Amino acid sequence: MRLSHWIALAAAALVAAAGVLLLLKFDPNAADSPFPGCIFRAITGYYCVGCGLTRALHALVHGDLLRAFAMNPLGVLLLPIVPMMIAHGRGWRPRAIEPLMRVLTAPKFWLVLLPAYWIARNLPWFPFTLLAPG
């Protein structure tokens, strides 16, 4: 890797560490939380794709996987996949995950998944109500 890649990786690691420290110190569920609420939800009353993600990450850094999943199931499922996709884009190509990466790197996958999730988490019927932040 070139020096610029190492610098970018170090910067990303520092930002991630700072985020973890903030999530350990502050509770996004508290009234005096420094974390902003969802502007889309405040304006429309509907959940967006990212609603509950800060609370999910807070639960994850405190070791509560079930609560994190209840806040934003898609976000929790994508958390380990995003670094794999970045590594794949940078040239890491294990044969075992290549079929998965072909699907995940196709724009049409995301153009279907994200709007479908966005709509589904706002439907008022079971089991869709399980997708809304708990």
DSSP letter (8 states) at residue 38: -
pLDDT the model gives residue 64: 94
- Around Cβ 97, how many Cβ atoms within 10 Å? 16
Is the backbone of residue 91 left (phi > 0), alpha (psi -120 to 50) or beta?
left
Q: Which domain does 124 fall in, by range?
A: 3-131
User: What pLDDT, on a 0 to 100 scale, did the predictor assign at position 92?
Assistant: 84
The number of domains in the chain is: 1
* Rounded mean pLDDT, 65-93: 90
| Angle made by CA atoms 94, 56, 18, in degrees to the nearest 5 | 75
Contact between 57 and 19 under an 8 Å Cβ cutoff? The reply is yes
List, for residues 34-67, the tens digit of each pLDDT value. Answer: 988 889 999 999 999 999 999 999 999 999 999 9
Query: How far apart are alpha carbons 14 and 10 in whole angstroms?
Result: 6
- pTM for the model stands at 0.84
Does residue 131 carry a pLDDT above 90? Answer: yes
